[in-house]
């Protein structure tokens, strides 16, 4: 019997982090001391009060049954409270919030709700890979909006041709940005809202990193802006905010009709989040400010160690105001891949090639601040010896 993948699966590029994990495992199997700055998976443990909440909830038999697709109402109410306090945005807990099995699930599934075969989805590049892969699996066509340093890594909306806009169903944006670490001013969202409302395009703002900010900076919400809720939704993640990557808990919020479409996909493809984890999410949000203050201090110190160390080695990198990523241009005529290979082969350091986030990421590498400060200091010393 001949087993053949579908054309849609064939059209997907290799998933970036699978390839990185393969190279990392091979190096470690050789007994090498690898410093992993590749995947954005926090090394800081989930806070104990959240783990304790999960334990208490897991002991209750009623939480062992199928979870409702629409999500735990107590969690949705806590999200609404947090949104009002943090962003000044009022959300209807019943209709304007949808818990997810991690924000990746919602981001990858939403094209299935609104994109027909041949429709266009506006995708920033470099970008988180599911913006593109979700589009391709839905039969859509990704239209790249390059993120360039000279534009502050914001897409130039003015250059998108009108015939492309007329065929576009979704527009993905992501600030603070992965992989570049760039931030945006609130008026950028106003430009997005105008172009979306004029062309009947749904906006999907990936806001996974709004709470990982430094130097007093506070990232805005897309939903703060007038008209935002008319055209779009926002995705949030407990993974990065509370170091809960393995727990798989996130949510989408905003336009109720858009969320209904996403919810219909969910109800046909998966079940709701394990109820005990949702109760842990309730507890997490109750102490969000206290929890995040400590995380931000740790990541800010790590950022300073890495960026200042790299700059002493010949780079000119601005310190990112948010995310736990450093987006660094390659040196000495290297491509993204050759520079990545140099780091692994000569310094035993794993970084992510920028072109793994799309062709517009060529000429860069991404480094994640997800190892402790002593390992970062060691990484800086190793890098000095190979560049």
Assigned CATH class of 60-287: alpha beta
Residue 1 confidence (pLDDT): 92
pLDDT of residue 284: 96
What average pLDDT does this structure show over 146-166?
Answer: 97
> Residues 257-273: what's their mean pLDDT?
94
Q: What is the pLDDT of residue 223?
A: 98
pLDDT at 21: 77
pLDDT at 290: 82
The whole-number average pLDDT for the span 23-33 is: 83
Mean of the per-residue pLDDT values of the chain: 95
Cα–Cα separations (whole angstroms), residue 153 to 124, 207, 347 = 9, 16, 29
The residue count for the chain: 387
Q: What pLDDT shows up at residue 27?
A: 78
* Distance, CA of 250 to CA of 101 (rounded, Å): 6
Lookup: tokens for 22: 């393969």
Contact assessment for residue 130 and residue 170, using Cβ atoms and an 8 Å cutoff: no
pLDDT value of residue 200: 98
Q: In this predicted structure, what is the pLDDT of residue 30?
A: 84
Residue 258 has pLDDT above 80, yes or no: yes
Residue 271 has pLDDT above 90, yes or no: no
Give residue 12's pLDDT band: very low, low, confident or very high (50, 70, 90): confident
pLDDT at 19 over 80: no
- Which residue shows structure tokens 């919810």? 263
**Domain 7-45+290-386, CATH 3.55.40.20 — does that match?**
no
Structure tokens at 106: 């919602």
Segment 183-195 shows an average pLDDT of 97
Domain ranges of the chain: 7-45+290-386, 60-287
pLDDT at 39: 83
The confidence band for 50, taking pLDDT boundaries of 50, 70 and 90, is very high
pLDDT at 96: 98
Task: Please work out, in degrees rounded to the nearest 5, the angle formed at the alpha carbon of residue 359 by the alpha carbons of 358 and 361.
Answer: 75
Same fold, 7-45+290-386 and 60-287: no
Query: How confident is the model at residue 291, as a pLDDT?
Result: 86
Contact between 117 and 124 under an 8 Å Cβ cutoff? The reply is no
Cα separation, 46 vs 328, whole angstroms: 29
Q: Average pLDDT for residues 92-101, to the nearest whole number? A: 97
Residues 252-280, mean pLDDT to the nearest whole number: 96
As given in the structure block, the two tokens for residue 243 are: 């170091």
Give first-to-last CA distance, the chain, whole Å: 51
For residue range 134-148, list pLDDT tens digits in order.
Answer: 999 999 999 999 999
Report whether pLDDT(60) > 70: yes
Per the model's pLDDT, the better-predicted residue between 270 and 281 turns out to be 281
Q: Residue range 2-12: average pLDDT? A: 90
| Residue 16 pLDDT > 70 | no
Q: What is the DSSP string of 155-206?
A: --GGGS-HHHHHHEEEEEE-SS-TTT-----HHHHHHHHHHHHHHT-EEEEE
Say whether pLDDT at 14 is over 80. no
């Amino acid at each position: 019997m001949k087993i053949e993948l579908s054309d849609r699966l064939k059209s997907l590029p290799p998933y970036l982090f699978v390839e990185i994990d393969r190279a990392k495992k091979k190096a470690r199997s050789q007994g090498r001391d690898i410093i992993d700055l590749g995947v954005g998976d926090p090394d800081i443990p989930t806070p104990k009060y959240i783990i304790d909440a999960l334990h208490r909830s897991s002991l209750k038999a009623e939480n062992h049954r199928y979870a409702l697709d629409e999500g735990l109402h107590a969690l949705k109410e806590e999200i609404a409270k947090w949104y009002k306090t943090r962003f000044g945005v009022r959300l209807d807990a019943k209709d304007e919030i949808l818990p997810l099995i991690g924000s990746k699930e919602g981001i990858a599934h939403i094209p299935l709700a609104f994109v027909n075969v041949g429709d266009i989805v506006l995708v920033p590049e470099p970008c988180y890979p599911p913006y593109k892969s979700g589009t391709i699996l839905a039969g859509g066509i990704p239209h790249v909006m390059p993120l360039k340093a000279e534009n502050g890594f914001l897409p130039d909306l003015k250059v998108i041709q009108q015939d492309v806009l007329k065929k576009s169903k979704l527009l993905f944006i992501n600030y603070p940005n992965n992989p570049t670490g760039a931030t945006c001013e609130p008026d950028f969202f106003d430009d997005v809202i105008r172009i979306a409302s004029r062309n009947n395009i749904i906006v999907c703002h990936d806001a996974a990193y709004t709470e990982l900010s430094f130097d007093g900076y506070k990232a805005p919400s897309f939903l703060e802006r007038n008209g935002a809720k008319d055209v779009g939704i926002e995705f949030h993640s407990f993974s990065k905010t509370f170091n809960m990557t393995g727990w798989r808990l996130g949510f989408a919020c905003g336009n109720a009709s858009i969320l209904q479409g996403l919810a219909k996909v969910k109800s046909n493809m998966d079940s709701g989040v394990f109820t005990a984890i949702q109760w842990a999410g309730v507890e997490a949000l109750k102490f969000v400010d206290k929890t995040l203050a400590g995380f931000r201090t740790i990541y800010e110190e790590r950022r300073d160690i890495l960026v200042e160390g790299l700059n002493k080695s010949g780079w000119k990198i601005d310190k990112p105001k948010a995310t736990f990523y450093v987006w660094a241009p390659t040196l000495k005529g290297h491509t993204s891949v050759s520079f990545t290979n140099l780091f692994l082969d000569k310094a035993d350091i794993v970084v992510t090639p920028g072109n793994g986030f799309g062709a517009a990421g060529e000429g860069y590498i991404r480094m994640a601040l997800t190892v402790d400060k002593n390992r970062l200091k060691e990484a800086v010393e190793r890098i000095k010896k190979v560049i």
